Amino acid sequence: MTFQNLEYKRPDQDTVLKHIAELKTQLESAADEAAFLAALKAVNELHRDIESMASLCYIRHSIDTTDSFYKTEMDHLDEILPSIMEANQKLQITLLQSPHRPYLEAVLGKTALERLELSTRTISAAVLDDLVSENKLVSEYSRLLASASLEFDGKQLNLQQMGPYLEASSRDTRRAAVDTMFGFYHEHDTVLDDIYDRLVKIRHKIARTLGFENFVALGYARMGRTDYDSDMVATYRKQVLQTIVPLACSLRQKQQARLGLSRLFYYDEPLSDPKGNPKPLGDADELMNKASVMFAELSPGTDAFFTFMKQAGAMDLIAKPGKETGGYCTFLPNWQMPFIFANFNGTKDDVEVFTHEGGHAYQAYVTRDDEWLSHHEPGMETAEIHSMSMEFLTWPWMDLFFGKDADRFRYNHLADALMFIPYGVAVDHYQHLVYENPAATPEERRQFWLDVESTYLPWRDYDENTYLKGGNVWKRQTHIFSAPFYYIDYTLAQVLAFWFWQAARNDAAKAWQQYDRLCRDGGKLGFRLLLEAHNLPNVFEAGSLDHFIPAVSAYLESVDPLTL
Ligand code: ZN
C-alpha cells in the first residue's frame, strides 16, 4: 500500500447525511450497551471515512494546486462539510444525552466527552452559510499566496523558495529578498486587508449567532481546549513577557555584536553569525538516507516508523511550481498512514522536516491502531510538544546532517526557539485584540500589531521598509487567516520542548521513554490533564517557566557561536 495508490472517492452529501440520520436513530434506539457500542463504532467508521477522503484530497491539492480535479474536489468539500458538520452535531448531542452516557465515557474517556460538548457549541444550522463563506475566504487567501511568482536572482520563485535568500550571508541579498517578498504582500495589500476584514466580521457573526460574546471563546472551543481559557493564556503571556522577552533581547544584542552591525534590522534577524547559517550537507536523497540512520539508531520504534513512511511513499518534500507553501503532517485514518508535506529549500528547515514533522508523524504512527479517532488526535498544543521535542531529542544526530557545523546548528536552534516565543505570543495577543474589537478597521488593526510588536519584540527594526513599519508583517503569518488562535500552541509546546531538552541532557534514555509514553497517550487527555499525568510543568501557573527556562539561557550564555 503506497500513498500513490490510495483511492479517492468523493463523499456524496446526500448519502452521508442519510447515513448520519440512520446512525442517530440507531444510537437513540440502542436497547443495551452492545447495541450502543455497535452504533458508536459505525459513527467512528463514518468519521474515519470522511476524514480520510478530506485529508487525501487536501494533500493532493496542496502538492499541485493547478490540478483541476482536486481543485474541484476541494471546492466540493468546502461546500458540503458544513452541512455534514451540522448533521454530525445532532449526532453528538444524541451521544451526550444518551442514557448510555456513562458507558460512552468508559469507552472514550472523560476528555473525549468534554471535547464533544465543546464541539456541539461550535455549530448550528443558523451558521452554515457563514461557515461556507469563511472556508472560501481562507481558500482565497491560500490561493493568492500560492499564485506568487517573484522575479529574484534571475529566477521565478514562489514565496517558499525565497527562504534561502532571507538568511543569505550577504546583507544586500537579505534586504532585497525581504523587499521582494513583502513587495508581493504590499502589491496585494488591499485584497489581503479585505479578506481578513471579511474573515473577522464573519467569525464574529458566527460567534454571536452561536451565543458567544465574541469570537475569542468560539476560537478556543474550535481548538478543542477543554481545560484552559483566555485568562490562563493571558497569565502565560505575562510570564513570557517577564521571563523570556529580556532573554530574547539579550540574545539579539549578542547577535548584533557577532554580526558587527550598528543596527540589527528585520532582515538581519535570520542570520545568526557572519559564517552564515549552517546548511545541511547533501541533496534530498542524501538527507533522506541520513534521516534513516538517525531514526534507526534513535529507537526500534522510530526505525519501524521511518521504514514505513519510506515504503508507503508517505512524504512529498521537494518544492515545485504550483505546490502550496509550508509544511505539515497529517493522518489518513483508513489507511493508518501519516503523511509529511514539505518544501525543501536547502536550509536547516529541511532537517526540521524530518525532526519536527517526523515527531508529529511518529505520534500518528504509534497510535494508528487505536480505532477511536478521538484517541489519536491530540490538541494542537499537545501535538506540537511531540514535534518540537523530537527536534531536541534528535540533537545527537545533527553531526550527520551538519558535519563540523553541528554545534553551531545546535546553538542557533536553541536560540531561535527561545527568540520565537515572544513572536508567537505577539501573534496570539494580536488576535485577541482583533476579535475583542471586531468593528476595528484595517488601519486600527495595523496599530494593534504595532502595539503588541513593541511590547514583545522591542528590538524589531524595519529599516526603511514603510510597508513593514506600517504594521503589516503579520499578513505573512498564514495561521492568522486560516487557523485563528492556533499560534499560541507553538509557544506552549516550545517551552515544554525546552523541558524535554533539559531532561535529555540529564538522561537521554529516560527522556526518550517519557516522550514515547507521551506520544502513545495521543489525544486521550486534555492539555492540563496530560501535563499532570506525565509530570510535566503546568505552564499556566505563574512562575512555572522560572523552573526550567534558566537552564536554556545558561547554556546559551556558556556558548560563543563564533568559536564553534
Ligand atoms: Zn508542527
Per residue in 114-139, pLDDT (tens digit) is: 999 999 999 888 998 999 899 999 99
Span 259-266, average pLDDT: 96
Question: β-pairing, 155-157 with 150-152?
Answer: antiparallel
| pLDDT value, residue 36 | 96
Please give the single-letter amino acid code of residue 299. S
Separation of 362 CA from ligand 1 center, angstroms? Answer: 12
Q: Distance, CA 325 to ligand 1 centroid (Å)?
A: 14
Position 164 confidence tier, pLDDT thresholds 50, 70, 90: confident
pLDDT 10s digits, 438-478: 999 999 999 999 999 999 999 999 999 999 999 999 999 99
For the chain, what percent of residues have pLDDT higher than 70?
100
C-alpha grid cell for residue 315?
A: 512524504
111 CA → ligand 1 middle, Å: 22
Output the CA 556–ligand 1 centroid distance in Å: 24
- Look at residues 374, 458, 445, 449 and name the one whose alpha carbon lies nearest to residue 193: 445
Q: What is the pLDDT of residues 297-353, one digit of tens each?
A: 999 999 999 999 999 999 999 988 889 888 899 999 999 999 999 999 888 889 999
Q: Is 329 helix (H, G, I), strand (E, B) or coil?
A: strand
Per-residue model confidence (pLDDT) at position 348: 87
- Tens digits of residue pLDDT in 10-21: 999 999 999 999
The pLDDT of 224-250, averaged and rounded, is 96
Q: What's the gap in Å between 303 CA and the centre of ligand 1?
A: 21
Confidence of residue 562 (pLDDT cuts 50, 70, 90): confident
Q: What grid cell was written down for 323?
A: 505546490
* Cα of 358 from ligand 1 centre, angstroms: 9
Mean pLDDT for 26-43 is 96
Ligand 1 geometric centre to CA of 364 (Å):
12
CA of 244 to the centre of ligand 1 (A): 21
Q: How far is the CA of 379 from the centre of ligand 1 (A)?
A: 11
Q: What is the pLDDT of residue 21?
A: 96
In the prediction, which pLDDT does 275 show? 87
450, 471 in Cβ contact below 8 A? yes
pLDDT band at 485 (very low <50, low <70, confident <90, very high): very high
Q: What pLDDT is recorded for position 96? A: 94
Separation of CA 360 and ligand 1 centre (Å): 7
Name the grid cell of 40: 458508536
Using the structure block, give the residue that is written with the C-alpha cell 521571563: 243
Query: How many angstroms does the Cα of residue 229 sit away from the middle of ligand 1?
Result: 22
pLDDT digits (tens, 9 = 90+) for 44-56: 999 999 999 999 9
Torsion 87-93-98-102 (CA) sign: positive
Residue 82 has pLDDT above 90, yes or no: no
Please give the distance, rounded to the nearest whole angstrom, from the Cα atom of residue 13 to the centre of ligand 1. 31
CA 497 to ligand 1 centroid distance, Å: 12
Give me the chain's average pLDDT, please.
95
- Ligand 1 centre to CA of 242 (Å) is 26
More confident residue, 207 or 79: 207
User: What is the distance in A from the centroid of ligand 1 to the CA of 350?
Assistant: 14
Q: Minimal CA–CA distance to 96: which of 74, 79, 82, 112?
A: 112
Rounded distance from Cα 423 to ligand 1 centre (Å):
16
Residue 387 Cα to ligand 1 middle (Å): 6
> Angle at Cα 505 formed by Cα 502 and Cα 506, nearest 5°?
90
pLDDT higher than threshold 90 for residue 112: yes
Question: Which H or E run includes 11?
Answer: none
- Say how many Å lie between the CA of residue 66 and the centre of ligand 1: 26
- From ligand 1's centre to the CA of 57, what distance in Å? 20
> Cell numbers 503571556 correspond to what residue?
237
Instruction: Calculate how far, in angstroms, residue 421's C-alpha sits from the geometric centre of ligand 1.
Output: 14
Q: Rounded to the nearest whole angstrom, what is the distance from the C-alpha of residue 38 to the centroid of ligand 1?
A: 35
Query: Distance, CA 143 to ligand 1 centroid (Å)?
Result: 22
Please give the distance, rounded to the nearest whole angstrom, from the Cα atom of residue 356 to the centre of ligand 1.
6
Distance 383 CA to ligand 1 centre (A): 7
Contact 539, 404 (CB under 8 A): no
- Got the DSSP string for 11-24? PPHHHHHHHHHHHH
